[in-house]
Structure 1
């Protein structure tokens, strides 16, 4: 819940420093710590790895849970530690991004860094987006022995 400016001034009057942290209003998950720190907080790591599911290099299926988190715009070049500037890259493709002629940029489609545009050393462009999350919804009503018949919808 937001607080009024007077309360904010009272709470921060004696603080030696302030850190801006952008969170999701519903879940409280950290979305960005801006330029205050290079280190990715645990819940932001979880968000990016859940979003990406695999290495974001074109065609790579290495699991995001076992991949590095890379600042698309390097921290040294003004990049932020945010979901919109982080992507899961396996170690091989993380090194390839930094040591070869491959370039990547995040295209803003949702503000969450979900679309990456890679440019190869020859100038060819490749776009990657994360696989949609798995769902537990049934595509059809399950039926069979031991499964009760569907009843009226719950209200």
Structure 2
């Protein structure tokens, strides 16, 4: 055990845990924020996506030692114009079916639009690659991202 400190959703956090503990388990089990989901445990499905310093990462395979002193954002802490545009577009386009993957999908879409507010289909495909949706709402996801991008540009 050793202390790991970071900022989570704008608030300082200090955990005395194994520094090899995955970020996902620290956030879910130690802190109690359960919006980010466990999917595959191998960083391949995207259900656990969080932002580290604004970049999407797979929290199931990110050891706490790698985030020491960094800013982490989970789906619960997502805010701002881009986040609001993505969340509104998700509702408008009825993206979610079962909803399990949606926090990871939204986190990846927000990261994309934060750096590119006019993405092409290939930009979206690349940014969302590795975010698996068992309900196969990929067409809705792409439409929602294009719609959110229009809102962000306005």
Check whether TM > 0.5: no
Q: Max radius of gyration: which structure? A: 1
> Relative contact order: is structure 1 or structure 2 higher (C-alpha 8 Å, sep ≥ 6)?
2
Q: TM-score, normalised by structure 1?
A: 0.27
